[in-house]
Structure 1
Amino acid sequence: MLEIPRVTENGNIGPVNSALVPRFGGAPTYALLPRLDEVAAAGQSADIKVVGVPFDAGVSYRSGTRFGSGHIRQSSRLLRPYNPATDTSPFAQVQVADAGDMAVNPFNIHEAIEAVQQDALDLTEDGASLMTLGGDHTIALPLLRAASQRAGEPVALLHFDAHLDTWDTYFGAEYTHGTPFRRAVEEGILDTEAISHVGTRGPLYGKKDLEDDRRFGFGIVTSSDVFRQGVDEVVGRLRDRIGNRPLYISVDIDVLDPAHAPGTGTPEAGGMTSRELLEIIRGLRGMNLVGADVVEVSPAYDHAELTGIAASHVAYDLISLMADLRAGRAEGAEGTQQTGETA
């Protein structure tokens, strides 16, 4: 078997060395990172694990997000090890590895939800952080269950999405991509003083949708708010609302305008730009991020790979926040104080 030259720094096994191997060749792991089994074979454990969930049994309109995680990986080949926007080298600061895809039942949504929850718990049993590539937004519920269980308390949530996803049922079904956060509130796994939607827009079924959402405790930052108030003010509002609580970030790629992310199942006009989304995420640096997902990428509708590229960069910046936080904790344990920059 051919030996794959990799970038190795601080004892962490990094991505394939693209100065020696063409980016378009080799296995399509996320950002050309080592597989989890390769890291384990080297006698190391992963601090951050990237995992896919190829599942779309919960969609209500255009299907195809079951191919999303693979598409995001393919679109991530051009990512490089140093992130100048946050002045971090996430793959050098901590060990990041691709854990492959969860095996979930494509025909039974209840079994799939249980499998995602258990796999998330298994992957984080050693203290690792999880960056999940969807898949449709149904998977956010079991991921939040696992994150709350690991945190030992309800978690804060920033939900980037065109839609509220707090509806009750579709055709009598309680578990779909439009209901995960209503179920999460009902189950008590969210800290309802620290939850917010970001980027919402478009028509609703009625005013009651917003009334229900407020009753659950959600704040709302619409895409119009981002445009009119600007990134810095929005970041300040979000940081004030969340504080230092354990935070989960869930990103539905349809939070972006279809001009930036056409490859999704339920597109809505008037969305955020990819630049705005990335800048808001970067502004959350130093917050207590315990897990994240990027979902609803449908490659069949993704001309010119725009959506996959955007999603891969969103995941990269989320990983950068996780790596920065974990490296700061490690240094703090050794007596070195480190504070994250804020927007």
Structure 2
Amino acid sequence: MMKQNPELSILGFENSYEESDIIVFGAPFDGTVSFRPGSRFGPSAIRNESYGIETYSPYQNADLTDIKGNDAGDLPLPFGDTVHALNMIKEFTLNIVTDNKIPIMLGGEHLVTLPAVEAVLEKNTDLCIIHLDAHTDLRDDYLGIKLSHATVMRRIWDKLGDKRIWQFGIRSGEKYEFEWAHDHTFLTPFNLDGAEKALEAIGNRPIYLTIDLDVLDPSVFPGTGTPEHGGVSFKELLDFIIKLRGKNIVAADLV
């Protein structure tokens, strides 16, 4: 896989693939976008901005230089063929988990999560999902399309079944999506409360963490495809992530 910018890796992820435990890669796809386009530029923007921060986190007393990570670059996804793009993401993610490494994917719209979950599920059959988002993403179809950023968690539910998806920060969606979630997922509206209870229920089962940045309030993060007022603060998001430390996170994405 070729990097769009071969001289730029995300900060702290400059080790070789072979020696690394964590593999970051970009999935620059926004082929089903329904409002603001441009999330396909997310991976390159994250890499560029990462050089304005430090590798050390005083919040966790941890440093990126203490881990072995590799930035594998961006997948050359075809914008005109959604199914082929998703298959490419699944294949690449499966290669990573087969090599006993942890994939961290940078999107891209939220549909890219589906093939990554499918790949991770092949090795972790009892996989659970922690989903941070402004939107339910539980429609069965959107404008007649089954594969959409608005249907991604419903398609993941198709693979996992009931009560294996924990959703936080949700504040937008159709009424029937919230009603459907009551019976099929664990949904916490508006905020990130209840992390401890969710983690207790999950136990030692493997976790796929997917974070849609529109979970943040637009005053914090306005540059998203579908902003929604009333979101969480950056500190609230950070505190939630810190609670996951030491848990069995087998894959993650940021979209």
TM-score by length of 1: 0.69
Question: Sequence identity of aligned pairs in percent?
Answer: 34
Q: For residue 176 of structure 2, what is the amino acid of its counterpart?
A: K
On the 8 A contact 1:156/1:242 being kept in 2, the answer is yes
Deviation at 1:237, TM superposition (A): 2.1
- The total of aligned residue pairs comes to 250
Partner of 1:135: 108
On the 8 A contact 2:27/2:108 being kept in 1, the answer is yes
On the 8 A contact 1:56/1:63 being kept in 2, the answer is yes
Deviation at 1:124, TM superposition (A): 2.6
C-alpha distance in 2 between matches for 1:171 and 1:208: 16
On the 8 A contact 1:156/1:192 being kept in 2, the answer is no
* SS across alignment from 2:59: coil
Q: Does 1:258 align with 2:218?
A: yes
Q: Structure 1 pair 247/32, CA: closer, same or farther in 2 (3 Å)?
A: closer
Partner of 1:287: 247
Match of 2:178 among 196, 206, 210: 210
On the 8 A contact 2:12/2:69 being kept in 1, the answer is no
C-alpha distance in 1 between matches for 2:117 and 2:37: 23
Q: Does 1:272 align with 2:252?
A: no
Structure 1: state its 5+ residue gaps: 1-25, 296-343
Deviation at 1:141, TM superposition (A): 0.4
* SS across alignment from 1:208: helix
Deviation at 1:32, TM superposition (A): 5.2
Q: Does 1:220 align with 2:187?
A: yes
Structure 2: state its 5+ residue gaps: 1-5
Partner of 1:126: 99
* SS across alignment from 2:208: strand
Q: Does 1:28 align with 2:28?
A: no
C-alpha distance in 2 between matches for 1:173 and 1:186: 15
On the 8 A contact 1:132/1:293 being kept in 2, the answer is yes
C-alpha distance in 2 between matches for 1:79 and 1:33: 14
C-alpha distance in 2 between matches for 1:32 and 1:289: 19
TM-score by length of 2: 0.92
Deviation at 1:51, TM superposition (A): 0.4
Say what the alpha-carbon RMSD is for the aligned residues: 1.8
On the 8 A contact 1:32/1:77 being kept in 2, the answer is no
Q: For residue 84 of structure 1, what is the amino acid of its counterpart?
A: P
C-alpha distance in 1 between matches for 2:40 and 2:81: 14
Within a 5 Å distance, the mapping from 1:1-343 to structure 2 comes to: 27-31=7-11, 33-34=13-14, 39=16, 44-92=18-66, 94-151=67-124, 153-187=125-159, 190=160, 192-202=162-172, 204-205=173-174, 207-215=175-183, 217-223=184-190, 225-226=191-192, 234-295=194-255
Q: For residue 145 of structure 2, what is the amino acid of its counterpart?
A: A
Provide Cα deviations, 1:69-104, integer angstroms capped at 9, x if missing partner: 111111111232322222222432x31011101121
Q: For residue 11 of structure 2, what is the amino acid of its counterpart?
A: A
Q: Which of these two proteins has the greater Rg computed from alpha carbons?
A: 1
Higher helix share: 1
